[in-house]
Amino acid sequence: MNLAAATNESLAEMSNVLVYSAMAVYTLAFLAHIAEWVLGSRSKVGRTAAALTAAGPAPAQVRVQVAQRGGGTAVLAKPPKVVTRSAAGARDVPDGPGAAGGDEKGDLYGRIAVSLTTLAFLVAAAGVVARALSVQRAPWGNMYEFSLTFSTVAVGAYLGFLVARKNVRWMGLPLVTTVLLDLGIATTWLYTESDQLVPALHSYWLWIHVSTAIFCGAVFYLGAVATLLYLFRDAYENTLARGGTPSGFARSVLERLPAAASLDKFAYRVNAAVFPLWTFTIIAGAIWAGDAWGRYWGWDAKEVWSFITWVAYAAYLHARATAGWKGRKAAYVALIAFACWLFNYYGVNIFVNSLHSYAGV
């Protein structure tokens, strides 16, 4: 069989053009997000949130007088505003006003950034589809294709949270920044010509096993971003609680983020939600290995690091459920777990001899 003849070069070239076009639009989205953070003022809303942070928990009750029929007044207890309790149980803090800081101009740039991110996502997704159609197979047969699909799925997950009206626009700037980095690495160092697969990858398990691995990695990434920001925001809240005064730049950024408790809860929920799917990914890989190589587990480097990643996330989830291992300690475990996933993705494929070495670089 002539593999070159099986490749539609026109569609392959179209995919390349779409990927570079998506990078250009992501760059515009990056600039719009920068404008959202810079031009979004430290508004009264932002300063009020910072003041509440420093003041600590709100009073349990607010007494309100209302007029009764026939004269006189009655004192009612108004329920307090519900705020998120931090994992460490140290304080209750309201969320910040967001990247725009409650400023109309900043909010406008934020909406432009989200619109550009959506457009870039659609263009990148079209590039992934064109790559798949050029060879009539799943578009993740090598690291270049995996990177394209991974970044697209990560952005898609982020946009999905926005559609569900979740407060995640604060994630836009780090997301677009890392997506540009990922695509830059993919097109510069990982690029592989559109071609057919090696025989071991000719299986329907390619669609099942690798697609779930990509989705898990994308969601783990969102959790890692939230965890990292949680550490910064938690340090900021601790400084305010001690009566300290953070630097102007740090305060301008950190006061606009959700409360540390909200970031911590978001990270925990997304990691916990996707962990069973990562378990399925490992099981599916073992079944595929049994079909392809005649054994379900051979302690190959990719298998070992997939299991190490599983153990790390299991330790994180266990730590969250164990007294004394919440808050920052658990956050460090979560970041170590995501670092394991990254090494499983980059390190094993590039630097380790493995039966899974299909990097194409």
Cα 9 to Cα 27: distance, rounded to the nearest angstrom: 27
Is residue 243 over pLDDT 90? no
Percentage of the chain beyond pLDDT 90 is 53
Distances (CA, A) of 82 to 3, 35, 59, 79, 92: 62, 31, 11, 9, 9
Which residues, 6 or more positions from 270, have their beta carbon under 8 angstroms from its beta carbon? 219, 220, 222, 223, 226
The answer to whether 256 and 101 are in contact (CB under 8 A) is: yes
Extended beta strands in the chain, E state: 62-67, 73-78
> Are 18 and 139 contacting, i.e. CB atoms less than 8 angstroms apart?
no
Please give the angle made by the CA atoms of 262, 266 and 270, to the nearest 5 degrees: 175
pTM higher than 0.75 for the full model? yes
Q: What pLDDT, on a 0 to 100 scale, did the predictor assign at position 287?
A: 92
pLDDT-based confidence at 41, cuts 50/70/90?
Answer: low
pLDDT category of residue 323 using cuts at 50, 70 and 90: low
Tell me the range of 85-94, 195-204, 228-237 where mean pLDDT is highest: 228-237
Q: Which of 28, 21, 346, 341 is nearest to 172 (CA)?
A: 28
Rg (CA), the chain: 24
* 320 pLDDT higher than 70: yes
